[in-house]
Structure 1
Amino acid sequence: MRPASKPAIHAALRLLASSSTAKPPTARVARLVYTSLRRKPQQRSINLSSWSPCREKDAKQEAKTPEKKGVSTSSGVHSAQTLPELPDAPKYPCPHLSDEEVVKYLQPLYARSWYLGLQVVKWNGQLRTPLVLAKKMDFLTYDDSLKFAGDLSGIVKSENHHPQVSLSPSGRLSLEINTHSATIPGVCPPARKDPQHIYPGVTLRDVRLAMLVETLWEQHRDELKVAKEEQYVTNPSRKLDSVRKNSGYRALGFFKPPSFADDLWRNVKPETVAYIIADEMGSR
């Protein structure tokens, strides 16, 4: 391929220099222009009107600015995605979320800083690590979080579904929700009399309660103005990964609910559970 002539390069550089009152372009920019002319000889006119050294400097500065992780402003992630219509409460025992329900309900909740966590429980004499749907909310004062917990109790009673709530002196309220009498589709037939067919997990009842909690949280945050400006969020790069892991839980590691014929899970060792939890906590 025949390279561009020197007069063509000089003309391009003069056009580049005239597009800004700042200092002339660097040798690196000249090489870029020369390369562009050489690779596309049929397109001799190059649009350089949008270039300026100031813009190049701003782009470099943005690239160097580290991304802030672990917090979110009160006007940030909560408005990222509209919540779907509130689902009906299924009867007990109810199945774990299906793949379609994970996408429909968990993704919008993740956009509001909900996340999937692990809970260590002793279930039917065995150590288990079921999933929980969780969120942390930071209030201005401890009394503000206590008022929220009082309002939440009315929702809990009407839903007949009880989350695990903890309050800290800093004003942080931590919430974990799961269904104790849940069944695993394809593994646990819904039989009340046989406890081996019940395994705790995240169901539509948990999704429903989480959406009601989110509505209450928005009232306290936006109307009562009792939320801190910076809120706890999980690592954004891990959110959708965790959703995808849960949607494929039948084939993925520790998110896979145990088959009760599987001795590995039936007799899971405490050190194995410790490793699982450490790995999950380190990823958030």
Structure 2
Amino acid sequence: MLAAQSLRRSALLPRASRIRSVHLHLVNIASRPFPTSTTALDAKDPTLDAAYVRHGCTDASSAPRQYPPTNLLPDRVSGWPTPWITAEDFERYMGVLYNNGWGIHFSSAYSKPSKSHPSRVVPELFKMYHFDRDEFAAKFVEDLKELMSEENHHCVLRVANTQVTIYTHTHSARPALGSKNAPGITLRDVRFAMLVDLLRSTESVARDAGDTSSGHVQFPNLTWDEYQNSIRITMAPPGGV
């Protein structure tokens, strides 16, 4: 009850204060493994080898351990606006993404507030890659550009020497049927994130790390309810939710 009251009170704060409030509310959530379906992880999909070859691997056995099981890869999404991920999508895919170093955060860096979207805080997937050498990072960026073109899905890249950070959300998206369009995480982003981890160039990754850059709020392995509560506060119009 107290937590719910705290979330409701934070909705009345200015946008920047609401973001900080949500961060403080969730910062004590311990990082924890997200439950995944062992059936889904263990199942052998006939498209596995083809997927690795398609993205530059000569055979599936050469794939690094961080590669996701391709039997979970969502089909290519068609049409806009794209629906936000559902509770079922979240349960099916986010455990795999969390285990592969992806996270969810909320960014206010994309656009100014508008009448239809007063807060303009956008939930998105992100992952930071560290490479052993600059040329490995550069090759990874080139592969990412090719993948973005193939998928017709464009993410934001931040490159600093051997470090590459990816941020992906769907601009033309819709939270629910009948609601107004609002940028957010969709199956386009889930598919893109998994395909990134299938790139041959990820074999040169030295380690993964979280991003704490300014202007972004990062949360550790949110559950579906925590994700929904965060959206409810960060995207709510001033004065209510």
Query: Same fold by TM-score, threshold 0.5 exceeded?
Result: yes
Whether the 8 Å CA contact 1:110–1:239 is kept in 2: the answer is: no
Could you tell me which residue of structure 2 aligns to residue 50 of structure 1? none
Q: Which secondary structure state, in structure 2, belongs to the residue aligned with residue 256 of structure 1?
A: helix
Could you tell me which residue of structure 2 aligns to residue 256 of structure 1? 232
Q: C-alpha root-mean-square deviation of aligned residues, in Å?
A: 2.9
Q: Which secondary structure state, in structure 2, belongs to the residue aligned with residue 128 of structure 1?
A: coil
Q: Which runs of 5+ in 2 are unaligned?
A: 1-30, 32-62, 212-218
Q: Which secondary structure state, in structure 2, belongs to the residue aligned with residue 116 of structure 1?
A: strand
Could you tell me which residue of structure 2 aligns to residue 91 of structure 1? 79
What is the CA deviation profile of residues 144-190 of structure 1, one whole-angstrom value per residue up to 9, with x for unaligned ones? 11111111111101111110001012x110000001111111561xx
Could you tell me which residue of structure 2 aligns to residue 211 of structure 1? 194
Question: 1:264: Cα distance to partner?
Answer: 2.9
Whether the 8 Å CA contact 1:107–1:243 is kept in 2: the answer is: no
State the alpha-carbon separation in 2 of the partners of residues 181 and 111 from structure 1: 27
Comparing both chains, which one has the higher relative contact order based on Cα–Cα distances under 8 Å and sequence gaps of 6 or more?
Answer: 2
- Residue 147 to residue 95, structure 1, CA distance change in 2 (3 Å): same
**Structure 2 counterpart of 1:227, which letter?**
V
Could you tell me which residue of structure 2 aligns to residue 62 of structure 1? none
Whether the 8 Å CA contact 1:178–1:206 is kept in 2: the answer is: yes
- Residue 265 to residue 147, structure 1, CA distance change in 2 (3 Å): farther
The number of equivalent residue pairs is: 168
2:222 is equivalent to residue 241 of structure 1 = yes
Could you tell me which residue of structure 1 aligns to residue 155 of structure 2? 163
- Residue 98 to residue 257, structure 1, CA distance change in 2 (3 Å): farther
TM-score scaled by structure 2?
0.61
**Structure 2 counterpart of 1:214, which letter?**
D
Greater fraction helix: 1
State the alpha-carbon separation in 2 of the partners of residues 144 and 201 from structure 1: 30
- Aligned sequence identity (%): 22
TM-score scaled by structure 1?
0.52
Q: Which runs of 5+ in 1 are unaligned?
A: 1-68, 70-74, 189-196, 267-284
List aligned pairs for 1:72-83, cutoff 5 A. 78=66, 82-83=69-70
Question: 1:95: Cα distance to partner?
Answer: 1.0
- Residue 132 to residue 95, structure 1, CA distance change in 2 (3 Å): same
Question: 1:106: Cα distance to partner?
Answer: 1.4
Could you tell me which residue of structure 2 aligns to residue 231 of structure 1? 208
